């Protein structure tokens, strides 16, 4: 699980060197296998939050506890091992209308299977085992029949699915997704949103997704908003029993966990 408490990150700005808080006392809890969708625009606050969650950056103050280990104070050697074993990351595109690209972590000179298997190299598995697990991960994201294709032979939606398979293949404790549907359109965008919704319900992985895509926001089991460096609970729609006319009824509720955090 993740438990963030008082996470604050400052950067210097202006001639007087005043500190600007990129993240301001951020705190939330994500249980084992739980999902949290963070809604907010792309910017330094969101990117900093994801880097801190992924163990790539340390906060100025506060704690970032993942399965009992505070990523804010652990040694670099231990942090690198946690990233390799327990954290999977997948990035999206550059927004609507962006040019097609190879997602971060994928090599255009390797097949889909080889790209996915590469994530298992730090775990020192046998090549045959890496190949088998990569094939299973690609099948899980609907690309079992395209495992020997190169990224350049796949459309943008399929390339994004390969990146997701690469993040999932090591069975991480945590999946971090940065705008996974951005840059996709039509069926590809809807299919990726549906795939994430299925992962949330079927996979035992704690998942944190940064997005403004309403298709993902509507499906979010828990939703918070990041604005001006602060995380606040967002109104959620709660399913109610069908009305007498047979139609669903919805109501807005505030999401807040038992720890008093969002």
For the chain, what are the domain ranges?
2-254
> What is the predicted pLDDT for the residue at 233?
83
**Residue ranges for the chain with pLDDT beneath 50:** 94-100, 239-260
CA 157/CA 197 separation, integer angstroms: 16
Phi-psi label, residue 167: left if phi above 0, alpha if psi -120 to 50, beta otherwise? alpha
Q: Can you tell me which residue has the tokens 């944190």?
A: 208
> What is the predicted pLDDT for the residue at 21?
83
> What is the predicted pLDDT for the residue at 194?
94
> What is the predicted pLDDT for the residue at 236?
54
101 φ, ψ to 5°?
-150, 165
Question: In the CATH scheme, what is the code of domain 2-254?
Answer: 3.40.50.300
Structure tokens at 142: 């609907």
> What is the predicted pLDDT for the residue at 124?
87
> What is the predicted pLDDT for the residue at 152?
93
Structure tokens at 6: 């008082």
Residues ≥6 apart with Cβ < 8 Å to 132: none
Residues ≥6 apart with Cβ < 8 Å to 105: 89, 91, 115, 119, 163, 166, 167
CA 237/CA 250 separation, integer angstroms: 6
CA 121/CA 107 separation, integer angstroms: 15
CA 121/CA 116 separation, integer angstroms: 10
83 pairs with which residues across the strands?
none
Q: What is the pTM of this model?
A: 0.84
> What is the predicted pLDDT for the residue at 250?
34
CA 158/CA 208 separation, integer angstroms: 21
């Amino acid at each position: 699980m993740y438990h963030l408490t008082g996470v604050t990150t400052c950067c210097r700005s202006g001639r007087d060197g005043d500190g600007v808080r990129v993240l301001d006392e951020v705190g939330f809890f994500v249980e084992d296998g739980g999902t949290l969708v963070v809604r907010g625009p792309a910017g330094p606050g969101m990117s900093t939050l994801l880097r801190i969650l992924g163990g790539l950056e340390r906060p100025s103050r506060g704690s970032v506890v993942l399965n009992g280990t505070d990523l804010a104070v652990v040694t670099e050697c231990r942090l690198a091992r946690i990233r390799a074993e327990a954290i999977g990351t997948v990035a999206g595109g550059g927004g609507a209308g962006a040019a097609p690209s190879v997602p971060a972590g994928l090599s255009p000179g390797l097949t889909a299977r080889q790209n996915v298997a590469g994530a298992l190299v730090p775990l020192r598995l046998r090549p045959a085992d890496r190949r088998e697990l990569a094939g299973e991960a690609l099948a899980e994201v609907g690309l079992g029949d395209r495992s020997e294709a190169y990224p350049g032979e796949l459309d943008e939606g399929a390339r994004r699915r390969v990146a997701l398979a690469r993040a999932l293949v090591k069975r991480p404790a945590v999946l971090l997704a940065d705008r996974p549907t951005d840059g996709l359109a039509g069926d590809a965008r809807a299919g990726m949103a549906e795939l994430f919704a299925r992962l949330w319900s079927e996979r035992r992985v704690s998942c944190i997704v940064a997005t403004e895509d309403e298709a993902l926001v509507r499906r979010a089991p828990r939703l918070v908003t990041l604005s001006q460096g602060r995380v606040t609970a967002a109104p959620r729609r709660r399913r109610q029993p069908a009305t007498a006319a047979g139609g669903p009824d919805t109501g807005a509720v505030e999401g807040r966990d038992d720890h008093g955090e969002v």
